[in-house]
């Protein structure tokens, strides 16, 4: 795995690492010290992940919405543009 560009969303009890292609590669629930639900960042083949994606991607941009902990990922495809907002409620 050569992609180390991650955003983080959390709720003071747990957190998720979300790659710049909108893949949740690390998540422990309901607490930081719970067993991992997704752990691709540790093992690319067996770690597990959840990804929202599309065919024919031209560009992906990721940033936080100003003054929030909401991570916004915008996908530009040949068919249009869509946005994914990631956050973790308490």
Domain boundaries defined on the chain: 6-86
Q: Which residues of 49-70 are buried (b: 16+ CB within 10 A; e: fewer)?
A: beeeeeeeeeebebeeeeeeee
Residue 4 has pLDDT above 80, yes or no: no
Does the predicted TM-score (pTM) go above 0.75? yes
Residue 1 has pLDDT above 50, yes or no: no
Residue 2 has pLDDT above 80, yes or no: no
Q: What is the pLDDT of residue 3?
A: 55
pLDDT tens digits, 23-66: 999 999 999 999 999 999 999 999 999 999 999 999 999 999 99
């Amino acid at each position: 795995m050569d992609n180390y560009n991650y955003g983080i969303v959390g709720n003071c009890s747990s957190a998720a690492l979300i790659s710049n292609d909108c893949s949740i590669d690390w998540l422990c629930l309901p607490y930081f010290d719970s067993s991992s639900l997704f752990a691709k960042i540790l093992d690319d083949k067996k770690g597990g992940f959840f990804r929202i994606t599309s065919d024919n991607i031209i560009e992906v941009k990721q940033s936080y919405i100003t003054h929030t902990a909401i991570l916004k990922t915008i996908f530009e495809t040949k068919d249009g543009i869509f946005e994914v907002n990631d956050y973790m409620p308490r």
